[in-house]
Structure 1
Amino acid sequence: MAELDRPTRPVPRPLPALLTGENADVYFLRSEQVLAGDGRNPVVTMEVFCRRAGATLCGIDEAKGLLSIALEADAAAGNAAVWALRDGDLIEAKEVVLRIRAPYQSIARFETAYLGMLAHGTGWATAARAIVDAAAPTPVIAFGARHVHPNIADRLDYAAIIGGATSASTTAGSSRAGKMPVGTMPHALVLIYGDTVEAALAFDRNIEREVPRIVLVDTFRDESEESVRVAAALGNKLGGVRLDRASELGGVTPALVAEVRAALDAAGATAAQIVISGGLSLERIAEFKAAGSRVDTYAVGSAISGVRPIDFTADIHEIDGQPIGKRGRPSGTTTSPRLREVDLAAWRAALAPATR
């Protein structure tokens, strides 16, 4: 017997509005009402897939958490079961990623939610995977939280890490993936102190030792000059510098990276790393790679956060054990050897407290 699918980390607890159906497409709620009125509640087998080949699946673990609550009573009575892949799996076009067998009234209202979890999570994770592959072996960190609604920033950052980013800028998203959040310093901090070195020294005085001293060096002066100044001020405590030159000044370029690297090396700061950020995309990363730029970390935002969701579809394939399907789609369950039965009780036990 195959091993059951169990969680390896906490998953977000569904919010009350999700469980009550307030966030569901209303036709699912009306379908429940119709079936309840006529006394019909067949056991159906639903299968979920997408048409995108090579996508990095994400959101499926959160969907398991949702279903672990929705199907608690049915599963205890032996009337429900779930099979699924896992976050991080690379999937084929039309591969079944989730199969649910349960009374229809128990799952109807949740279709909107689990499809949305999969669509956004997989879109972000797939974009992150493309960026990570393009940047390899240089690591990528996710800086996209500011481009999405704060209520989903943790999902974005978690998906980016599932896609291969080494960490992300928010505590919520990074910790969910078992990572520490990463960041340097904003221009605001440098502007308030009025000098890059003063801001760097203040950071060093007040921030825990385990946090790397990565100093933003493009606020007031030439980046090479500022890099040498902070290297002199921090000595071997300097972990690196971040380049985020404004687009009005031409942005970060391979030539700028080369200049800063040469300046740091000449100042004896050969161990100081260079982190670059600011509108990085697949195309821009390719430019740095082609130039042989000595970039140590790419900090990427909207190239991950701004991608379109990847659509997923849910279809009924059986009703009360009898194969059925809509016209144009196969009837009966699909052969899906990678699916594993989900231990719903274990996933329910792993739910983190609701935070919103």
Structure 2
Amino acid sequence: MTSLNEQDKFQSPFVTYNSVVTGATADNELSRSMTILRNEGINPIVVMEITSESTGVLCGVTEIQTWLRDWLFSLPKNSRGLWSVQEGSNINKGEVVARIVGPYASFGLYETAILGSLSSSSGWATAAKECVKAANDIPIVCMGARNIHPQVVGVMDYSARIGGCAATSTAVGSDLHGGTPSGTMPHSMILLFGDTLRAVLAFDKHMAADVPRVALVDTFRDEAQESVEIARSLKRKLRGIRLDTPKERGGVTPSMVFEIQSRLRNEGFDNVDIYVSGGLNPERIKEFVDSQAPVIGFGVGNYISSASPLSFTADIKAIQSDKVKFDNSNIDDVDQIIENFQPISKRGRLPGITENNKLVRLF
């Protein structure tokens, strides 16, 4: 048996949801198969491999490791194991990204959840990485929470951080990735105050001193005009301004950024940073980078949150053979005996264990 100390080495911010444990989120065919196999007394130790069907950034490993530890970790070490490519790694189409070994009944019901976590998380991480790459070291903040269901916001934010985002916008996301929520102020607050400067002064009055004073400047008047007015009022307390001009007005452009920087500098406010958000994607980000617009950070929402999931498949590739009797085995670790398992697969897939030197044993 594995010692408690080995279990304690793993720390995870994720939890195992009751809906996953009960199989409520599983495809019904898996629930039916578990009933049939249990009634027939069929429960061999199997090797299941998870393979990527596209290129991208792998994410979701920590979450599925959390689940699989709950389901498999109490078993003898010679009958269970998890290997995976590292979270945040670049993966290729056809690459085996994870290998699970254990009695099928201990985890087979959860195939749907495992693939779903990897698929969605990797899709978000991949989209984030595309934005980060386009930004060429300019920080990206993920602001996509409003574009997805609130139940998955935290995982999306976590995935964005794995993809390279410097920060995310929600507390639940920050709880998972360990960062600090990032944000400025919404248009709604400014509209309720009826004046951008009044809203900014209220922000300065009520927010703690360590909260950066970054003003949203496109609600009522010309962006450059509002920027200068706020800078005159807050002076050195103003950390920056955020441009979020809607597409109905042409959106934020590199030329707008240059103009605002010039007007601020003419007033002596060369300390004010400029942040850009609103409908950004890698192509638009690259426009600002290529023009060398003085942008200190980008806020990206829908491009990350609406990213298509990366597809993965899960296949049993080997099954415990009659030659291996775990109850009477003196072998301590499952990786010493899975080579004696019977290779198997469905048609179209290669039977047997697929080698990948990027796989690392997690337990």
**More divergent stretch after superposition (167-176 vs 62-71):** 167-176
Normalising by structure 2, report the TM-score: 0.90
1:334 to 2:334 alignment: no
Aligned equivalents of 1:186 and 1:7: distance in 2?
41
Compute the displacement of 1:284 (Å).
Answer: 1.1
- Residue 323 (structure 1) aligned with residue 343 (structure 2): yes
> What SS class does the counterpart of residue 98 from structure 1 fall into?
strand
> Could you list the per-position Cα deviations for residues 186-225 of structure 1 after superposition, in whole angstroms to 9, with x for gaps in the alignment?
0011111111111111111111111110000111111101
CA distance in 2, matches of 1:42, 1:10: 29
> 1:85 Cα shift?
2.1
Indicate conservation of the 8 Å contact 1:9/1:176, yes or no. no
The superposition leaves residues 58-108 of structure 1 with CA deviations (integer Å, 9 ceiling, x where unpaired) of 0111000011111133x2474211111222111222222111111111111
Aligned-partner residue type, residue 85 of structure 1: V
Name the CA shift for 1:5/1:233 in 2 (closer, same or farther; >3 Å).
farther
- The offset of 1:6, in angstroms, is 8.9
Q: After superposition, where does 1:200-279 map in structure 2 within 5 Å? A: 200-279=200-279
Call closer, same or farther: CA 1:7–1:257 in 2, change over 3 Å.
farther
2-side partners of 1:127 and 1:315: how far apart? 27
Structure 1 runs, 4 residues or longer, greater than 3 Å off: 4-9
User: Where does residue 313 of structure 1 map in the other structure?
Assistant: 313
Give the Cα–Cα distance (whole angstroms) in 1 for the partners of residues 269 and 138 of structure 2. 20
2:65 aligned with 1:71, yes or no?
A: no
Give the conservation status (yes or no) of the 8 Å contact 2:184–2:216. Answer: yes
Q: Is 2:191 the partner of 1:171?
A: no
Equivalent position amino acid for 1:341 in 2: R
Aligned to 2:113: 113
What is the 5 A alignment of 1:293-308?
A: 293-308=293-308
Is the Cα–Cα contact under 8 Å of residues 127 and 307 in structure 2 kept in the other structure?
yes
1:103: which partner in 2? 103
Length, aligned pairs only: 338
Tell me the residue number matched to 1:17: 19
Partner Cα distance (2:347, 2:295) in 1: 53
Quickly say closer, same or farther: Cα 1:6–1:336, change in 2 above 3 A. farther
Q: How far has the Cα of 1:7 moved from its partner?
A: 7.0
| Cα distance in 1 between the residues matched to 2:26 and 2:170 | 28
Q: Following the alignment from structure 2 to structure 1, what is the Cα–Cα distance between the partners of residues 172 and 111?
A: 26
TM-score by length of 1: 0.92
Which residue of the partner structure matches residue 51 of structure 1?
53
**Percent identical:** 42
CA contact (8 A) 1:84 1:98 kept: yes
In 2, are the aligned partners of 1:29 and 1:108 still within 8 Å (CA)? no
User: Does 2:189 correspond to 1:189?
Assistant: yes
Q: Distance in 2 between matches of 1:46 and 1:122?
A: 20
SS of the residue 1:10 aligns to = coil
Query: Is the CA contact 2:217–2:241 (under 8 Å) kept in the aligned structure 1?
Result: yes
Tell me if structure 2 keeps the 8 A contact 1:51–1:93: yes
Q: Deviations over 1:283-324 (max 9, x none)?
A: 211222222211111100111111110000001010111111
| Partners of 2:134 and 2:283 within 8 A in 1 | no
Compared CA separation, residues 8 and 270, structure 1 to 2 (3 A): farther
1:168-195 per-residue CA deviation (whole Å, 9 max, x = no partner) reads 0011112321211100100011111111
Aligned 8 A contact 1:213 1:238 in 2: yes
